[in-house]
Structure 1
């Protein structure tokens, strides 16, 4: 139940839930490597982590780049995948199949590539934690492909828990969480949106990145949890739509 001396790789670790997870793992004693597509965000994130932490630029849509990342990292104990891209609502019928396929490149196929190249280097006592969202359980118009990606990722995790055992594989299913991905929305509109989201939860609040990070940390530390999806959404899924 400790991460002291263990190596953790967080893909999507330059901001938001990924960075919060990297910070939590480092605080728990782990040696941390963060990876994302933006060198500027990685440099900023690295300044918030211990000197032993490392940052690697990687394009999660490029399998060769992912393979190179894990060749560089070498042996590791835990992989956390929080990488995502901004998704705007758009009906499926308005998209070409090429566009539709690209919608799953980062969140699903990126996770597949990461697991493929990390697993052979992982400690048998290690873990893999993927990240999804409640849109997979309660979809809204324009997000059918996002919902499909959630379902695919959660099914993948269950299959991998069996296939990769004793390496543990789990999913954190996040509800509405305050992260930098919302910063493109104007401040006043963003605050109104957060307030509306908070009213729909049982806790009366939206999530914070640190709360998602705490769940990823739990999944790294608890050696008796695998093949599980943990929902962290303030009870949103229990409320009326």
Structure 2
């Protein structure tokens, strides 16, 4: 067989294009969610960002190119109403999570913190998938976001580890439950966003330095790194039920 005939039989090169697609990013106004929203738009998608509050153009001129819808992941009726407003679409990314430090400690006087965190992260992800699924077009996908603590627990983060692990288990279950819709999870490592603004500047700078010195990638992660993985999961039709770790090799080194 000639090289010319062989080339004709080969499939087209994979593309990260989302031209003609509609993407919804829950938690898409800040951090990793905003990075994914921008990347999806750059890839040709019409993007809707969903969050607890709709921002005006004056408040957030950087959101001018996105549609916005109000959605509180803790309120199932609000989640249902938001997706009814959005209507048919192609890809859902759920990045929303409760605020840093809201989960409490394992031996707190009550379980308010852990219940609140699980409701916001795990049950919020569940509600988004549940009410988005009927609106997803053929060939569509759902992508959740967790974090390295799902596989590498850290002292004081029991609720976070548990919620992340539950979301990853949900992802695999829904890959079967909702097939042929595809369901996957991205597990980021250290990504330098405002999520870490609760730390003193010197502590945050020290964390960046340690990551850059010890992680095999020799740098901190950015929202663009996670966005690239999200584009891959939205555009590859043969990936489902998978957890993709985008962590610069964090799993190969001692805990930061």
Give the shorter-chain TM-score range. over 0.9
Measured at CA, do residues 95 and 86 of structure 1 come closer, stay the same or move farther in structure 2, by a change above 3 Å? farther
2:87 corresponding residue in structure 1: 74
Aligned match of 2:209 in 178, 191, 195?
195
Aligned match of 1:215 in 222, 225, 229?
229
Measured at CA, do residues 42 and 76 of structure 1 come closer, stay the same or move farther in structure 2, by a change above 3 Å? farther
Higher Cα Rg, which structure: 2
Rounded to whole Å, the distance in 2 between the matches of 1:95 and 1:152 is 24
C-alpha displacement of 1:191? 1.2
2:9 corresponding residue in structure 1: none
**Contact 1:34/1:42 (<8 A) preserved:** no
Measured at CA, do residues 156 and 202 of structure 1 come closer, stay the same or move farther in structure 2, by a change above 3 Å? same
**Contact 1:43/1:55 (<8 A) preserved:** no
2:12 corresponding residue in structure 1: none
* Aligned-residue RMSD, C-alpha: 1.8
C-alpha displacement of 1:145? 1.2
TM-score (norm 1): 0.93
1:176 corresponding residue in structure 2: 190
Rounded to whole Å, the distance in 1 between the matches of 2:168 and 2:37 is 22
Measured at CA, do residues 43 and 60 of structure 1 come closer, stay the same or move farther in structure 2, by a change above 3 Å? farther
Give the alignment of 1:70-219 within 5 angstroms: 70-88=83-101, 90-219=104-233
Rounded to whole Å, the distance in 2 between the matches of 1:151 and 1:186 is 29
**Contact 1:26/1:50 (<8 A) preserved:** no
C-alpha displacement of 1:99? 2.7
Rounded to whole Å, the distance in 1 between the matches of 2:108 and 2:169 is 27
Give the alignment of 1:41-60 within 5 angstroms: 47-48=61-62, 51=65, 53-60=66-73
Structure 1's unaligned 5+ residue stretches are none
Rounded to whole Å, the distance in 2 between the matches of 1:70 and 1:153 is 20
List per-residue Cα deviations over 1:28-81 (Å, max 9, x = no partner): 111100011243498755x33564x20122211001111111000000100000
1:20 aligns with 2:30: no
**Contact 1:172/1:230 (<8 A) preserved:** yes
1:233 aligns with 2:256: no
Rounded to whole Å, the distance in 1 between the matches of 2:58 and 2:217 is 35
1:37 corresponding residue in structure 2: 52
**Contact 1:6/1:76 (<8 A) preserved:** yes
